[in-house]
Amino acid sequence: MVKYIIKINCTGKKDLTFNGIAIRVARKNLHQSPPDITLGYISCIFPYIKELKIVYKTLNKITIKRLEFHCENETDLSDEDFVHFIEVLKRLGFASEKDVKISYCKIVRYMDDNNVMRDKHDEILAYTLTSLIKIKDSKKQRLRNRSKYSTRVLYICKNLIV
């Protein structure tokens, strides 16, 4: 079983919106965006999606927010499958003014220096959301991750039949 993650930055309205509304978890008087019914529809179309999260990454008082689709499948996604996934998101109402990057990453488990199991995300494919331009590999030297993370799981309506 291959475990992977699809990541899209959604820090501001220019990064990613759903029908013009910023991506967010339900709060007091605000509904979840995208709504649970839309996420349920996406999970019916793509049954390999197991969970959706909004991840907040903070370093030096700067917070970056991203939408993550956690997936499990028998095989890796091909370029065509990944582009199809992006096109479905766009048809359902996801949009980006900045033409934000959407990444397909394999989850690799490893043991750190303190014998603690950690996950690393190795980027396999990356495209721009709006123009669907493939982003070439940019092999950056990885620095030690000192960021603090918090996660909010999005509710997905599972009572749909497509």
pLDDT at 141 over 80: no
pLDDT at 102 over 70: yes
Q: Please, what's the b/e burial string for 145-155 (b: 16 or more CB within 10 A of its CB; e: otherwise)?
A: eeeeeeeeebe
Question: What percentage of the chain reaches a pLDDT higher than 90?
Answer: 47
More confident residue, 127 or 31: 127
- The answer to whether residue 158 is domain-embedded is no
**Total tally of structural domains belonging to the chain:** 1
Q: Are 152 and 54 in contact (CB under 8 A)?
A: yes
- The answer to whether residue 105 is domain-embedded is yes
Cβ–Cβ contacts within 10 Å for residue 65, how many?
A: 20
> 70 is written with which tokens?
């956690």
Q: How far apart are CA 25 and CA 23, in angstroms?
A: 7
Would you state the pLDDT for residue 151? Answer: 79
- The answer to whether residue 162 is domain-embedded is no
Given pLDDT bands bounded at 50, 70 and 90, which one contains residue 5? very high
Task: For residue 48, give its domain range.
Answer: 2-153
Averaged pLDDT of the chain: 86
Q: How far apart are CA 49 and CA 147, in angstroms?
A: 26
Collapsed DSSP state (helix, strand, coil) of residue 37: helix
pLDDT at 34 over 70: yes
Question: What percentage of the chain reaches a pLDDT higher than 70?
Answer: 89
- The answer to whether residue 161 is domain-embedded is no
